[in-house]
Amino acid sequence: MSSLSVISGKTSEEIARKLSKKIKANLVKSSIKIFPDGESKITLSGKISKKKSIIVQSIYPPVDSNLIQALSLISKTKEISSEVITVIPYMGYARQDREFLPGEIVTMKVLAKLFKSVGASKIITVDVHSLIGFNYFTIKSKNVTAIPDLVKYFKKLSLKNPLVVSPDQGGKERAREFAREFDLDFIALHKKRDRKTGKVKIITKNVDEVNGRDLILVDDMISTGGSIINATQFLKKQKCKRVFVACTHALLMNDAERKIRKAGVTKIVSTNTIPGKTSLVDISNTIAKAIK
């Protein structure tokens, strides 16, 4: 029996399968029964290593159910393994990392306590929305980026004089890193969000450098796609050519994919941290390196 096991949560079966092959670990699968009241019961099949286990479970919608399942997997594994590395490719609640308005609960602080209390030895995430949340963790935590994997994919496309664009100033560093990896230029748009209504508008003036060029809009995650839609509509008015979207996590809530395409995006490319039609880039290799 391998001294290493990978325990596959239901949300990350593909990554877990590929990861187990890459690190030559024994794969333990989980099956889930959902009861009429919404409770879930997890059953594991396979031998869990006594030494070291790696759990892989993304926490995307339904976020609370998938979080409880992740915690349950850690708890069960800790009964057998002395070391439990927990890989959360997509970390739900990462945007709730500080108190924005008085009385708001910082949910990442709660998660930090939960992961520790059930027995996680280390947490590994991919392009977590904010590293501030990691300040609450007392166990080891590591964030890896999918940017090199995404760039590798985009290099295979025949793009016309491409330019990397961040839809806002918040994602400027990500766009810079993507552009550096690709050896391209980048720009970042300025947007303004109303804290109460959530409405966003772009306040950048004319951007001449996008004229006649293919653009790669880079973001860490797409939830409802509002930022991407606004940016695309603005950039199309500036006479750019095609608009591509590169993101790590494609949540694509509320029919976002259709709305983004309607806004004029040619292709959405995301990783398999959240499985779906757009998840064309595998990040199991990057996770394997982080574990080694």
Count how many Cα atoms sit within 13 Å of the Cα of residue 116 in the half-sphere of its side chain: 13
Cα separation, 195 vs 197, whole angstroms: 6
Strand partners, 274: none
Cα separation, 210 vs 188, whole angstroms: 12
> What sign does the CA torsion over 285, 289, 291, 292 have?
positive
Q: What is the DSSP letter of 37?
A: T
User: For residue 62, is the peptide bond before it cis, meaning its omega torsion is within 30 degrees of 0?
Assistant: yes
Burial classification of residue 258, based on how many CB atoms lie within 10 Å of its CB (0-12 exposed, 13-18 middle, 19 or more buried): exposed
Strand partners, 270: 279
Cα separation, 190 vs 201, whole angstroms: 9
Clarify whether 191 is annotated catalytic.
yes
Cβ neighbours of 180 (radius 10 Å): 13
Query: Distance from CA of residue 254 to its chain's centroid?
Result: 18
Terminal-residue alpha carbon distance, the chain:
19
- Catalytic annotation, pick one of 152, 191, 199, 239: 191
Residues annotated catalytic, as ranges = 191
